[in-house]
Amino acid sequence: MKNEKFSTDEYNALAEVARGITGRPSACVGRNTKRLSGLKLLSIARNGHMSLTDKGKELLFLRRCILSLRALAADPAAKLDGDVAAFLGKKSHIAPVDDGFVVTEKGRETLADIEAQEK
């Protein structure tokens, strides 16, 4: 999973499965089911019910962390979810300031590494 690149469509499919699918899956989920289940990011029960694996939940959480770190770097007033802020703070990527957070040097280095890998 470390070297895998995922499309926005695949992330959207995972997020849709995480929210819970009632009835028939969307076209987005249908297009991506085979690859995502092959990478063990989602599982399909015998009755057809889809759910995220722990690996899939971790991938979505890390994506939220990256998007939040980017948002905070672009706008210091950006709001972070509590679980994301706690994780990024524990990893020293952000530091608390007056009424929000600021991206630390380590956080900026991490963002630069991510940008380099995406090219």
Ordered per-residue pLDDT tens for the chain, 119 residues? 556 789 999 999 999 999 998 888 899 999 999 999 999 999 999 988 899 999 999 999 999 999 999 999 999 899 999 999 999 999 999 999 988 899 999 999 999 999 898 77
Identify which of 68, 39, 65 has the alpha carbon closest to the alpha carbon of residue 52.
39
- The C-alpha atoms of residue 101 and residue 104 are separated, in whole angstroms, by 9
- Phi–psi pair at 43, nearest 5 degrees: -120, 150
Residue 25 neighbours by CB under 8 Å, 6+ apart: 16, 33, 50
Query: Where are the extended beta strands (E) located within the chain?
Result: 42-44, 50-52, 94-97, 100-103
State if pTM tops 0.85.
Answer: yes
